[in-house]
Structure 1
Amino acid sequence: MTSGPTWTIAQIAEEFGVTHRTVRHYEDLGLISPERQGTRRIYHRRDRTRLGLILRGKRLGFPLEEIRTIVDLFDAPRGRRAQLEYVLGQIDERRADLEQRLRDAQDALRELDQFERRCRDDLEKLG
């Protein structure tokens, strides 16, 4: 296959702080495709890059189908440019969603604070 550095499943799992099962799961989904030598998986730079993109997408809260699109764009003819343009659009959507969730959480915390104050006041009145 490709020359250059290679990694075993143990090495790649350790590097990214995931289990072997997680790495195999992404392989089963077709998101990464290591070379096979018998039952051994050999990961190349492409697999390592794709796994990094997958895990970053997961940390940022992207659903797997969006991650698949982003990772697949990495291999597209326009490659990097198309990927970056797509990702920027997804970042805008994700940011808007997170900002709304933050506002909702802040509203809920304010409401809890008010409710707590009323409860404490009522408790104090009861003596």
Structure 2
Amino acid sequence: MTDNRLSFKEMCARFDVTPRTLRYYEYIELLAPEKEGRARFYGPREVARMKLILRGRRFGFSLEEIRQWLLIYGKKGERPQLEAWLQLADRQLEALEKQRAELESSIADLRALRETAVEELARLETP
């Protein structure tokens, strides 16, 4: 075993994911570890892919979107992959901005309702 590979257990610990998650990512072909018997080993390529997968999930991309995006590099190269990334990013930024606006509206409504409740409580406490 070379020094730059991680075992299955080390990969789970490094990225704070469950064994089930790691096996699922392999099953849906997001990751392709080296196999030696039943043991799996993850080299620099798989570590880099895992970083991209987790970052993509954090940004709200589906696993299928991430899988398709990762496939582009192997089939078409870096430029098409970057172009696809820009399209995905633009779409996701728009969705996140919409979510933020909805969240800000909900927060404002909840604050107003809370303030009304505080005023009502104060009114009820006044003899």
Give your verdict on TM over 0.5. yes
Secondary structure of 1:75 counterpart:
helix
Give the AA of the match of 2:13: E
Identity %: 33
State the aligned residue count: 124
TM-score, with length taken from structure 1: 0.85
Secondary structure of 2:75 counterpart:
coil
Q: Using the alignment, how far apart are the partners of 2:14 and 2:42 within structure 1?
A: 12
Q: Deviations 1:48-107 (Å, cap 9, x if unpaired)?
A: 222221111111111111111111123123x22111111111111111111111111111
Q: CA deviation at 1:14?
A: 2.1
Q: Which 4+ residue blocks in structure 1 deviate beyond 3 angstroms? A: none
Aligned residue number for residue 55 of structure 1: 54
Alignment gaps of 5+ in structure 1? none
Pick the aligned partner of 1:105 from 103, 106, 115. 103
Q: 1:117 to 1:6 in 2, by over 3 A?
A: closer
Q: How does 1:28-107 map to 2 (within 5 A)?
A: 28-77=27-76, 79-107=77-105
Q: Using the alignment, how far apart are the partners of 2:15 and 2:33 within structure 1?
A: 16
TM-score, with length taken from structure 2: 0.85
Taking only aligned residues, the RMSD between alpha carbons, in angstroms, comes to 1.9
Worse-matched range after superposition: 86-95 or 12-21: 12-21
